[in-house]
Each structure stands twice: as C-alpha cells, then as structure tokens.
Amino acid sequence: MRAWVVREPGPMASGPLELVERDVPEPGPGEVLVRVEACGVCRTDLHLAEGDLLPRRPRTTPGHQAVGRVEGSGRRVGVAWLRSTCGRCRYCLRGMENLCPSSAYTGWDADGGFAEYLVAPEDYVYDLPDGVPAERLAPLLCAGIIGYRALARCDLPPGGRLGIYGFGASAHLTAQAAIAQGATVHAVTRSAASRRLALELGAASAGDRPPEPLDAAILFAPVGDLVPPALEALDRGGTLAVAGIHLSDIPVLNYERHLFQERTLRSVTANTRADGRAYLELALAHPPHVTTAPYPLEAADRALTDLANDQVSGAAVLLVG
C-alpha cells in the first residue's frame, strides 16, 4: 500500500514527509483493518511534520480524520484522534478519558490515515452512514469533534457573543454550531478567503478584532500572541478556550487588563468518545455546510504546505480510495 511517513521533522519547505510503499498492516486482537476512503488534514498533522509536536515513534504516518470501510464486513467507520485509553485510571473512571495519562493517538502513537489502509481499536471507531460522501464526513472526525468540545469549554451563554480566532477547518464548523444555537459570532482572521467564508456562514463580522465585547471566545490559531488581545476583548465573566494541541509562547499578561473581572483562560485537551458520539449524532441529524479543499493522496505534502501558508479555506481532505 501507499503511505506517507514523517521522514525527518522540519519546515514543510525541507520536505519532512516521504511517500513510501508498505505492507498492508495486520490488525491485532480487538482491532479492525480499515481501507481508507478519505482523510482530513489537520493542523496537528502539520505540527507533527514540522516538529512542533515531538514524534513518539520513527516514520509515523499522520492523519486522524479517516473515513473508510472495515475489511471483511464493509462496515463504514471513522477513525479519529483518540485511539485508546486505559479505562482504569481516575480520569477514565470519572468520564474524563481525554486526560488519561496512558491515552494514545492516531497518527502520533500509531500510523494514521495518510495511507490506503490503517488499523484501529474497534472500541474507538465511530459508525458512519453510507449515503454521505467521505470528503464531507472526514472533517467532522477532528475539526468537528474538537470544535464541539471547545464550544462547551468556553461557557458561551444562550444568545451570547462568541469570538473565533483563526477560521480554518474546525472554526468553520464550530461557528455554524454556535450560530444554530442563537449566538452572535465574530470571526478574527487575517485571511481574506476565510473572512468571506465566515460571513457566508452567518458570522456577524470578520476582521482584525471583534466590534463588541465578547461573552466567550475560542482560539483555534496556534499563536500565543493572540491570547492577550482575546482576553482583553472578553466582557466581564467571559471565558477564552484555547483549542489547539500546540501553542506558541503566551506573552506576559496584565492582571487588570486581561484577567480581572473574572475572565477565564482554559485549555481544551483532545476529546472523549462521548464527545465524538454526541457531535456526530448532531452533525448527521443536522448536517453543517462543510467547505473542503480536496487533494489526492499523493499530494499530502502539498496540502500541509498550503495549510502552513494559510492557503486553505475550510478543511483540506485527502481523497484516498
């Protein structure tokens, strides 16, 4: 089979990825072999390729938004970021498996979906319908699920004012969920194409800063320099949730300007399977408008380069089989 591997982490211009021929993997006990139809391209994949996220094993295949079919049954499934947890620690036992110290992740601890096949634990895959194109389903498996958790973590009140910083794959799905709940959404992004998309999806504004105080905000861009202005834009009692797995250093905060009046800064760490099931049930019952930029499997390096250069509007998706 064809598969991409991280040969040597570094800037995309250095060619950190390599397309190779590998044997089709064999599933172990409790695992399924999935023939990949499509795989979303996530900023986490870019962090792994460029070395912001330190590799946990050599020559790993990225990709954690894979849609495919289980060999032998034809069952359609999604393989997402969370690959396994211990099920026994205090975090797992209280419904916080996303914080499990023994958690493992698709495309980081094990080979992911930038390939024609992958294996995954059966207990951690999601059943998906047959009638929806794989290109539309793939972004739901990370961009959608993480956005759903971030929206919960930012404590947006009913009818509240939400700021979204960075407007890529996850943000464009999260904005739609918030607007459907009655929120006023302000997108903060420097990309002209992303500004247009935000307004087309119903955002009240799209620019360099929100035009009014915010009740809540989500930072999707991995830029620590955005934390102080995002906190300063919050109204009293507002919460900023940082949704990425990697963030550049946060500048020094001024207590009175950025945190006083009970403003809150919190992180978002992965997701639970309950998050995934809840979001997919919602998204399949009320399908969001999924804006995709399709690439063939052999162009995965180009997709990540475009993502690094902010040249992807919506979600990049590899079309595999």
Per-residue pLDDT of the chain (321 residues; tens, 9 = 90+): 999 999 999 999 999 999 999 999 999 999 999 999 999 999 999 999 999 999 999 999 999 999 999 999 999 999 999 999 999 999 999 999 999 999 999 999 999 999 999 999 999 999 999 999 999 999 999 999 999 999 999 999 999 999 999 999 999 999 999 999 999 999 999 999 999 999 999 999 999 999 999 999 999 999 999 999 999 999 999 999 999 999 999 999 999 999 999 999 999 999 999 999 999 999 999 999 999 999 999 999 999 999 999 999 899 999 998
Which residues, other chains included, contact 1 with Cβ-Cβ below 8 Å and sequence gap of 6+?
21, 22, 23, 24, 115, 116, 117
Amino acid sitting at position 36: V
The pLDDT value given to residue 321: 87
Residue 29 burial by Cβ neighbours in a 10 Å radius (0-12, 13-18, 19+): exposed
Any idea which residue has 């399908």 for tokens? 287
Rounded to two decimals, what is the model's pTM?
A: 0.93
- Residue 195 region, left (φ>0) first, then alpha (ψ -120 to 50), else beta? alpha
Query: In angstroms, how far is the first alpha carbon of the chain from the final one?
Result: 11
Is 196 in contact with 172 (CB distance < 8 Å)?
Answer: no
Is 276 in contact with 97 (CB distance < 8 Å)?
Answer: no
The pLDDT value given to residue 308: 95
- The strand pair at 264-267 and 184-188 is best described as unpaired
The pLDDT value given to residue 283: 95
Is 127 in contact with 67 (CB distance < 8 Å)?
Answer: no
